Each structure stands twice: as C-alpha cells, then as structure tokens.
Amino acid sequence: MYRGTTDELIIANKELVYQNTEKEKRAGELLAANNELAYQNSEKEKRAAELAIANNELAYQNAEKEKRANELIIANKELAYQNSEKEQRAAELVIANNELKFQNQEKQKRADELNVANVELAFQNSEKENRAAELIIANDELKFQNLEKQKRADELNIANIELAFQNSEKESRAAELIIANSELKFQNEEKQNRAEELEIAYNKIKKAEEFLKEYILGLEKMMFMTHHKVRQPVANILGISRILNQFLRSPATLKKMVGYMEVSAIALDDFTKELTIFVSELEKKGKSNGVE
C-alpha cells in the first residue's frame, strides 16, 4: 500500500515539474509575441510615416503607393493572427493553472491517505503485542495445570496404597474373628453376646468403610473442583493484574480488563459457596452414619 502511494506521489511531482516547464515555455512565447507585436506596431508607424512622405513627395508614383498599401494589409493580417495566438496562449495558461491546482489537491489527498495508513499500522502493532502477552499468560497457566495434574496423580497413588493397606487390615481382622469364634465355641451365652456385639461393630465398620469410600470420592471431587473452579479464576485475576499497568492510558481496555477480573472474582465466590455446601453435606452424611 505504501509503495503504490509513493509511486503516485513521484508521478504527480514529475507531472507538476512538466506542467511548470510548459507554463514557462508559454510565458516565453507570450513575451516573444508581445515583443514581435511591439516591433510590428513600430514598423507600422514607420510605414505610415514613409507612406505620408511618399504621398507628399511621390504623388506621381501611384504604383509604389499601391504596393505600400498591400504591405500594410499584410501587416494588419499578421497582427490579427498574432493577437489570436496571444489569446490561445492565455487560454492554455489558464488550463495549465487549473491542472496544477488539481494536482496539488491530489497530492494532499495522497498525504492524508498515508497518515491514515500509518495510524492503522500503529494500531495493528499494538494489537499484535496484546496477543503476544495473552499467549504468554496462557502458556504459564498450562504449565501450572500440568504441575497440578502431576500432584493429583501422586496423591491418587498414595490413596491407592492406603486403600490396599486397609483391605489387608480388614482381612487380618476377619482372620482374628474366625480364631475367636473357634476358641469361644463352647461359650454359647458369651458367644451370643459377642456375636451381637460383633455384628453391631461389623455394621459400624461397614458403614464407616462406606463413608470412607464416599469421603475419599468427595475429597477427589473437591480437589477436582478446586483445580478447575478455583485455579482458573485465580490465574485469570493474577494474569490480568500483571498486565493491568500496561493499559492505564487506555480506559476502554482497562475497563474491559476490570470486567474480566470481576467475572473471575464472581466465579470464585460462587465456587466458595458451592464448596461450603458440599463440605456441609459431607459432614451430615458422616454424622448420619455414626462417624464423628
């Protein structure tokens, strides 16, 4: 776009120089015509004087008089022709001036278009820098999420090891229960009492295990919710706060950034309420199952 505008300006300048040269030529021709006209007028006066002298002195020379009259007619025709040429040169000069004015207007238009193009280029460079800053923030967030994912995987491995240990303990308790039943087989009354107590204890353990499984699932869900619903708005707020100073002189962009920060803050507040309700319901389930 800039190359085309520059070429047009160069062509316009060359055309202007050409028009100025032509204008000077026409002015020179007009000056020469005026000089020639003055010369012709002087010659006309000389011829008139000579004619008067010839008429006074050479009255008898009629033939010479006729010749001088013919020369005078020719001179008048030449003068009329020169006047016509002078008017044509003046008309051409007016046209040249109009053309020069038009070219100056076109040159100003091209300069205005160049200024608009420079403003547009500056705006595009600013937008490019904004996109680069957003990309950096997105890369930092992706790196943080990968680290959080690795931490959750490590925590899940630990939970699996703990669950395997609890299953082993459960099997050990079952073996001990079988041994106790074999040893106290002869104690029927005690066996009945112990069986009832054992059944109650077993039901409590079963409820506790069920609640423990549900509690573990709840913790995993809570960690998932924390990761996806807390880290994202927090990261957005942090990212916006890092680049907020860059837009202090741009109220529209600054207002947009504050709007993004407000959306993240509202999302964080909604999740806090949701998390509070979730933990409260989890505690109620534990109390209803007899787990304190």
pLDDT in tens, 121-155: 888 888 888 888 888 888 888 888 888 888 888 88
Both tokens of 196, joined, read 């009832």
What is the rounded distance in angstroms from the CA atom of residue 9 to the CA atom of residue 11? Answer: 5
> What does the alpha-carbon distance between residue 9 and residue 216 come to, in Å, rounded to a whole number?
77
| 273 in the same domain as 146 | yes
| Full residue range of the structural domain in which residue 37 is found | 2-123
Contacts of 83 (CB under 8 A, 6+ apart): 37
* Residues 257 and 244: beta-carbon distance below 8 Å: yes
Distance CA 283, CA 121 (A): 61
CA atoms within a 13 Å half-sphere pointing along the CA-CB vector of 21: 6
Q: Is the pLDDT of residue 275 over 70?
A: yes
> Do 92 and 177 lie in a common domain?
no
pLDDT in tens, 93-126: 889 888 888 888 898 988 888 888 888 888 888 8
Same domain, 136 and 118: no
Task: Using the 3D structure, point to which of 123, 146, 175 is the last residue of a domain.
Answer: 123
92 contacts: CB under 8 Å, gap ≥ 6:
26
Please check whether residues 111 and 191 belong to one and the same domain. no
pLDDT classification of 184: cutoffs 50, 70, 90: low
Number of domains the chain is built from: 2
- Residue 127 tokens read as 């937008």
Q: 193 and 68 in one domain?
A: no
Torsion of CA 181, 183, 184, 187, to 10 degrees: 140
Q: Are residues 94 and 109 in the same domain?
A: yes
- Of 105, 123, 141, the residue that ends a domain is 123
Alpha helices for the chain (secondary structure H): 2-57, 62-183, 188-225, 231-243, 251-288
Q: Which of 108-122, 178-192, 255-269 has the lowest mean pLDDT?
A: 178-192
Task: pLDDT band for 157, please (50, 70, 90 cuts).
Answer: confident
Between CA 282 and CA 118 the distance in angstroms is 63
Q: Which helix (H) or strand (E) holds 59?
A: none
Same domain, 72 and 163: no
Residue 34 shares a structural domain with residue 149: no
118 and 135 inside one domain: no
Residue pair 21/28 in contact (Cβ under 8 Å)? The answer is no
Pair 119, 147 in one domain:
no
Q: What is the pLDDT of residue 96?
A: 85
Query: Given CA atoms 180, 186, 190, 195 in this order, what sign does their dihedral have?
Result: positive
Instruction: Say what the pLDDT of residue 183 is.
Output: 73
**What is the C-alpha separation between 288 and 95, in angstroms, rounded?**
104
Output phi, psi for 60, to 5 deg: -80, -15
Neighbours of 90 (CB within 10 A): 11
Same domain, 170 and 82: no
In one letter, which amino acid is 72?
Answer: L
Last residue of a domain, one of 88, 123, 158: 123
Per-residue burial over 243-259, b if 16 or more Cβ lie within 10 Å, else e, is eeeebeeeeebeeebee
Q: What percent of the chain has pLDDT over 90?
A: 12
Q: What pLDDT score does 160 carry?
A: 83
Residues 236/264, Cβ–Cβ less than 8 Å: yes
The more confident residue out of 115 and 4 is: 115
Shared domain for 119 and 138, answered yes or no, is no
pLDDT per position as a tens digit, 36-79: 999 999 999 998 888 888 778 877 877 777 887 888 899 889 88
Are 97 and 20 within 8 A, CB to CB? no
- Residue 181 reports pLDDT greater than 70: no
Integer angstrom CA distances of residue 126 from 82, 120, 123: 66, 10, 5
Q: How far apart are CA 173 and CA 14, in angstroms?
A: 105
Which contiguous run of DSSP H or E holds residue 32? helix 2-57
Collapsed DSSP state (helix, strand, coil) of residue 120: helix
